[in-house]
Structure 1
Amino acid sequence: MYLEYSSTKKREALKLERGLARVQGPPFHHCYTVSPASQPPMWALRRASVSLTLRSRGFNVGASCVKLAPTCCVEEESGINESREITYGGFLLPKTCFHSGYNSSLNFTVGKRALSSSSTKKEDDLEDGFSELETPASDGNESDNLLTSDAELSDDDGKENVAKEKEKTRRGRVESKLFNEIVNGPGNSVHSALEKWLEEGNELTREEVSLAMLSLRKRKMFGRALQLSEWLESKKEFEFIERDYASRLDLIAKARGLHKAEVYIETIPESCSREVMYRTLLANCVSQNNVKKAEEVFSKMKEFDLPVTVYTCNQLLLLYKRNDKKKIADVLLLMENENIKPSSLTYSILIDTKGQSKDIDGMDQIVDRMKAEGIEPDIKTQAVLARHYISAGLQDKAETLLKEMEGENFKQNRWLCRILLPLYANLGKEDEVGRIWKVCETNPRYEECLSAIEAWGKLNKLDEAEEVFEMMIKKWKLSSKTCSVLLKVYANHKMLMKGKDLIKRMGNSGCRIGPLTWDAIVKLYVQAGEVEKADSVLQKAAQQTQLKPIFSTYLTILEQYAKRGDIHNTEKIFYRMKQAEYPSKPKMYQVLMNAYINAKVPAYGIRDRLRADSVFPNRTLANQLVQVDGFRSNPVSDLLD
């Protein structure tokens, strides 16, 4: 499906772009006659994205006057007001027409202004998965989800979280008795727990159900939350309203998959808003990183003539930031044409994209534009900025930003500790990590302890990391989430025996092993050079449970086999990733072709495989395809012929 414009609109856009290109301000390294503040905000963001595209293609955009080829972009969404859970209200879609294309991907094409598909190795090697920007924002006091990766699904069934829930209750939060009843009930049957709740004479109010549902969602216990929703509807305890249907749709997508959610959406009463339902479905497509399905949902929204909003665009930006950065410019162009104003999250996504591409100047330009529009970077965005400064070796700049984040009343903002601890550790600031941990040490909170273990591990202070771990066990008992953090520390230091001892300890204490722990165990064995053992562990884990391993877990093993030139095992892991229904990505094929290159063996039929998976070769893939082409000619073969 392609978004197209009339030839008249193309010509008008080209004229506008060429005219503005001659008067762009300093943030975009052009000959300029107007101040940055006077530039159109969407245009400025598009020019910044153009700079990113040029850098990825090997161009050096310096301070001198440069004539850029016409291209387009923009960005947007508020991480404060719009959670990645179900958000209600203004989620509408464009009135521009779509039609099916070669690969059903969402290509916003504007005549000859379509962006190049090439990219650099830096861009290609970016870590797959979700970044800090893609999680719900801070609540202003203490954000429980701040800087937590989507990939970090809890391995535990939630029972050990009851203690943490009680601790939060002491800090002024309401405890759900119904949630405790569900979690502590026999087996996984929510129905029996609810029947028991009523038999004991408890009243089942909407407030109590809402509180229990929130707790279940927060613990990622989506299956039980779905059982609760289904029981309520079957027993007709409450009259279902639009919000209840949207919640059920969201839970089905999370617990049973996108296809089941699509089937369910057809059964929802017509009185419910289509925009809320499709917005919920789109958010889940993005959350599950399913590009094809997200674009199909976007096209479906167009069929219903739903106008586009900043939320929709931000979802697409998040999706393409992970999978296809060249399409970011197209989304931004769509926003400009629909007159959609960027939100805080839009800017944050662009900042992170620039930082990932090592374009620090471009990242700072986006920050300047953000501030010029009256939007100050929140703590999450500042943390991402600091991380990219550290990665770029700009330690002074990063430290200045961290001090700014602390503010004057740091001790009153305890929730900042868990963010600052790993960042100061990345800077190698042992004194600062010790200073911040001292604020928490007398009465530590769960997430602060996890950050402290990670921070001490980065500083090679294993005794301190283990000391925090033992303190956590005494306070909250042993859990797989706590163990996985320490396991990663052991993996980074190639301490296989300590890691094995911890795994045995987990087994003896009855910890539930899940994706987080699998990932830590796999990396533990890989770092120790035991790739086959890591492969075996992951295969057994995937067979024993219906839980899906993290993408990066498979990728870690895939890369190790590829480095060896072990084509058989590389193809085996590649096949398992396809079986696990991970969307095909250029990164997967790059690693696969590395196996053939290292083995010095041609990869017959690889172009057909790329075509079948709708993977368009970027620059790195194109170069690899030449190397693995079994039919290419060379001077020696020509002489022999």
Structure 2
Amino acid sequence: MWALRRAPFPLRNQRYSVRGSCVKLITTSCAEDEVGFAESPQVAYCGRFLFLKKFYHSGHTSAKFTVSRRELSSQADASSTKDEDDLEDGFSELETPDADDGGENVLIHDTNLPDESEDVKEPQNELELSDTENDDSTEKKSHPGRAESELFKEIIKAPPTSVSLVLDKWIEEGKELSRQEISLAMLNLRKRKMYGRALQLSEWLESNKQYEFVERDYASQLDLIAKFRGIQKAESYIESIPESFRGEIIYRTLLANSISQNNLKKSEDIFNKMKELEFPLSQFVCNQLLLLYKRNDKKKIADVLLLMESENIKPSPFTYRLLIDAKGQSNDIPGMEQIVESMKAEGIEPDIGTKAVLVRHYISAGLEEKAETVLKEMEGENLKNNRWVCQSLLPLYANLGKADEVGRIWKICESNPRIEECLAAIEAWGKLKKIDEAEAVFEMISKKRKLSSKNCSVLLKVYANHKMVTKGKDLIKRMADSGCRIGPLTWDALVKLLIEAGEVEKADSILQKAVQQSQVKPLFPTYIAILEQYAKNGDIHNSEKIFYRLKQVGHTSRARQYQALMQAYVNAKKPAYGMRDRLKSDKIFPNRSLANLLVQVDGFRKNPVSDLLD
């Protein structure tokens, strides 16, 4: 079962004692690669003993990690040398906090962007929900949309803050408020990211005692609080939950939301709290931890795998996908392929989402033939019968530069296209620099549907990527004239459009006004785009201002923003006093890039001339 550990995820401690098995690590000299992954090891088995003859050996202090006690800590050097593309890693969406699927239904990342809503305050940051890192979202065939409840229709017709009035009126009119009606309304609100209204609904139900809350109801409300008001408020809410209902579902809901916000320290604290409460370790929690470390500290992936082995927790398809993606991000294609073989040896065939991950990494590594082979596997023998795969194939063929293949796939969809296929086609044609084709697909949507920020944002991104400022501004004006709600996705595209036009100050001003008017949190990459431009210009004052705003709106501090800030000091040729203390206070452990920048901005650094003067 654990053949997947033949793929060399580094183990930083010299020895682990895990139940009846023993893992001995024989230290050898092994060149460290960029993210701390070693060459593929030679593996020898002796009963339940596994010997890794080549592995990553770090000179850093080992992490405070005890497998038998199920504790995690980041007090060691949590280095991760590559900042992943922020829109490529999916933030978790906890539709069902009690899902017992190993986490597959929680984490994804692609082009399915949410419609913007005026009352969405949920942190739609760089790891937003999307459709290629989730379990089977891209593989499931399309199904008829779920029915919309009458209560839901009444809620969305009312002003954003008037949900309680709608519910009071509903009761006054003698209408039944059944669990089924509530569940359907909640489902539709969540589906549209209307977390503020969903939270008002949940809080009204709790305060009016319409029905007795059970653990799942408390977990659902906790999830909404975490999304709408933040993790700290969610933690405070737990104290108000009756102790008999503070079970595993409550804490893993909090854990998933903390990980969705990429809060490493808080996530580890929550995990350790779950251990103290003696909750059983689940596939779901392990997959969440793997996602956390894939983003932040790949060296700890092996720790989680050892923990899973010690607790006899089998890897799920999503576990394998996370490991495959981690190896691909490290440019370790042989290691990635080893994990695929291990997956198949366990009788688990890679699904469409996993194959899409493989294709992306093959393309990044320049292995186009291998990428095309997997793409053909995804298509199957009859693509018309596998129509649901088209939305994944379109951008992948575009990444390969295969305009003919994109045209062929789109032709299958064109006569009766689904909205997801249209958005994928716009993205694909944009990547291929075929703007006319992208615009034609957009106009096709516009004739059949009312303009929405979700649809417009995909085309805006195309314009921004190709520095088509005039067209981008025209589209935004068209959105305003048609009454589109302008939110974080549109702001992101507009800011990047203005930056490409050399108008960073205007982009900064527009974003600040948007925040003041709507009280909605902009995306993390939106601020980073402005911060990096100011840094490029050596503008320390404005760089610090944007750095402060990131914290002010509630985005968790991370290495990328510090890297941009320090680059501003480097470009301005000015020292940055106290930077090490700032990193320490935010619990940011310098990776290789940050360490190099710290040396450059150190105001007390000595050089040969200063030594002579001393």
The reply to whether residue 131 of structure 1 matches residue 131 of structure 2 is no
The reply to whether residue 240 of structure 1 matches residue 213 of structure 2 is yes
TM-score, normalised to structure 1, is: 0.80
In the other structure, the counterpart of 2:350 is 377
What per-residue deviation string (whole Å, max 9, x for no partner) do you get for residues 74-95 of structure 1?
Answer: 9xxxxxxxxxxxxxxxxxx987
Structure 2: 5+ residue stretches without partners: 1-11, 30-37, 121-140
| Change over 3 Å in CA distance of 1:412–1:169 after alignment to 2 | closer
The reply to whether residue 551 of structure 1 matches residue 508 of structure 2 is no
**8 Å contact kept, 1:147–1:419:** no
Give the Cα–Cα distance (whole angstroms) in 2 for the partners of residues 226 and 322 of structure 1. 29
- Give, as a single letter, the amino acid of the residue that structure 1 aligns with 2:117: D
In the other structure, the counterpart of 1:470 is 443
Give the Cα–Cα distance (whole angstroms) in 2 for the partners of residues 504 and 19 of structure 1. 63
Give the Cα–Cα distance (whole angstroms) in 1 for the partners of residues 439 and 334 of structure 2. 40
Within 5 Å, give how 1:597-636 maps onto structure 2.
597-636=570-609
In the other structure, the counterpart of 1:344 is 317
Give the Cα–Cα distance (whole angstroms) in 1 for the partners of residues 545 and 587 of structure 2. 21
How far the C-alpha of 1:328 sits from its partner, in A, is 2.4
> What SS class does the counterpart of residue 16 from structure 1 fall into?
strand
The reply to whether residue 318 of structure 1 matches residue 301 of structure 2 is no
> What SS class does the counterpart of residue 457 from structure 1 fall into?
helix
The reply to whether residue 588 of structure 1 matches residue 599 of structure 2 is no
What per-residue deviation string (whole Å, max 9, x for no partner) do you get for residues 17-71 of structure 1?
Answer: 33999xxxxx96344566xxx997x969xx69x86x57xx8xxxxxxxxxx9999
Give the Cα–Cα distance (whole angstroms) in 2 for the partners of residues 203 and 356 of structure 1. 52
**8 Å contact kept, 2:160–2:197:** no
How far the C-alpha of 1:193 sits from its partner, in A, is 2.7
Give the Cα–Cα distance (whole angstroms) in 1 for the partners of residues 206 and 285 of structure 2. 30
How far the C-alpha of 1:520 sits from its partner, in A, is 0.6
- Give, as a single letter, the amino acid of the residue that structure 2 aligns with 1:594: Q
What per-residue deviation string (whole Å, max 9, x for no partner) do you get for residues 287-311 of structure 1?
Answer: 1222222222222222212232222
What per-residue deviation string (whole Å, max 9, x for no partner) do you get for residues 118-175 of structure 1?
Answer: 55xxx323223552596689x9xxx99995459945313599xxxxxxxx99937434
Give the Cα–Cα distance (whole angstroms) in 1 for the partners of residues 91 and 244 of structure 2. 34
Give the Cα–Cα distance (whole angstroms) in 2 for the partners of residues 11 and 632 of structure 1. 49
The reply to whether residue 155 of structure 1 matches residue 163 of structure 2 is no
| Change over 3 Å in CA distance of 1:563–1:412 after alignment to 2 | same
Q: 1:516 aligns with which of 480, 486, 489?
A: 489
- Give, as a single letter, the amino acid of the residue that structure 1 aligns with 2:154: E
Give the Cα–Cα distance (whole angstroms) in 2 for the partners of residues 468 and 552 of structure 1. 27
| Change over 3 Å in CA distance of 1:71–1:371 after alignment to 2 | farther
| Change over 3 Å in CA distance of 1:372–1:189 after alignment to 2 | same
- Give, as a single letter, the amino acid of the residue that structure 2 aligns with 1:276: I
Give the Cα–Cα distance (whole angstroms) in 2 for the partners of residues 147 and 7 of structure 1. 34
Within 5 Å, give how 1:190-229 maps onto structure 2.
190-198=163-171, 202-229=175-202
In the other structure, the counterpart of 1:354 is 327
Give the Cα–Cα distance (whole angstroms) in 1 for the partners of residues 16 and 396 of structure 2. 51
In the other structure, the counterpart of 1:84 is none
Deviates more, 1:311-320 or 1:128-137: 128-137
Within 5 Å, give how 1:454-469 maps onto structure 2.
454-469=427-442
Give the Cα–Cα distance (whole angstroms) in 2 for the partners of residues 190 and 550 of structure 1. 26
In the other structure, the counterpart of 1:18 is 26
| Change over 3 Å in CA distance of 1:19–1:632 after alignment to 2 | closer
The reply to whether residue 439 of structure 1 matches residue 450 of structure 2 is no
How far the C-alpha of 1:414 sits from its partner, in A, is 2.2
- Give, as a single letter, the amino acid of the residue that structure 2 aligns with 1:411: K
Within 5 Å, give how 1:92-131 maps onto structure 2.
96=69, 106-107=73-74, 117-119=78-80, 123-128=81-86, 131=89
Identify, as 1 or 2, the structure richer in helix: 1
> What SS class does the counterpart of residue 365 from structure 1 fall into?
helix
Within 5 Å, give how 1:220-369 maps onto structure 2.
220-272=193-245, 274-369=247-342
**8 Å contact kept, 1:133–1:348:** no
What per-residue deviation string (whole Å, max 9, x for no partner) do you get for residues 334-378 of structure 1?
Answer: 323333322222211111111122222221122122222222222
| Change over 3 Å in CA distance of 1:560–1:131 after alignment to 2 | same
> What SS class does the counterpart of residue 412 from structure 1 fall into?
coil
**8 Å contact kept, 1:323–1:585:** no
In the other structure, the counterpart of 1:489 is 462
Q: Report the RMSD for the aligned CA atoms in angstroms.
A: 3.8
Could you say which structure has the greater relative contact order, defined with CA pairs below 8 angstroms and 6 or more residues apart? 1
Deviates more, 1:509-518 or 1:334-343: 334-343
Deviates more, 1:253-262 or 1:459-468: 253-262
| Change over 3 Å in CA distance of 1:216–1:172 after alignment to 2 | closer
- Give, as a single letter, the amino acid of the residue that structure 2 aligns with 1:576: R
Within 5 Å, give how 1:15-54 maps onto structure 2.
16-18=24-26, 29-31=40-42
Count of residue pairs the alignment pairs up: 569
**8 Å contact kept, 1:425–1:455:** yes
Structure 1: 5+ residue stretches without partners: 22-26, 58-67, 75-92, 99-104, 109-113, 160-167
Give the Cα–Cα distance (whole angstroms) in 2 for the partners of residues 620 and 594 of structure 1. 11
| Change over 3 Å in CA distance of 1:249–1:232 after alignment to 2 | same
**8 Å contact kept, 1:561–1:595:** yes
TM-score, normalised to structure 2, is: 0.83
- Give, as a single letter, the amino acid of the residue that structure 2 aligns with 1:327: K
- Give, as a single letter, the amino acid of the residue that structure 2 aligns with 1:125: D
How far the C-alpha of 1:238 sits from its partner, in A, is 2.2
The sequence identity of aligned pairs, in percent, is 63
**8 Å contact kept, 1:128–1:322:** no
**8 Å contact kept, 1:291–1:583:** no
Deviates more, 1:185-194 or 1:472-481: 185-194
Give the Cα–Cα distance (whole angstroms) in 2 for the partners of residues 96 and 146 of structure 1. 27
**8 Å contact kept, 1:188–1:224:** yes
**8 Å contact kept, 2:391–2:420:** yes
Give the Cα–Cα distance (whole angstroms) in 1 for the partners of residues 108 and 19 of structure 2. 43
**8 Å contact kept, 1:133–1:381:** no
What per-residue deviation string (whole Å, max 9, x for no partner) do you get for residues 207-264 of structure 1?
Answer: 2221111111111111111122222233333222222121111112112222222222
**8 Å contact kept, 2:16–2:24:** no
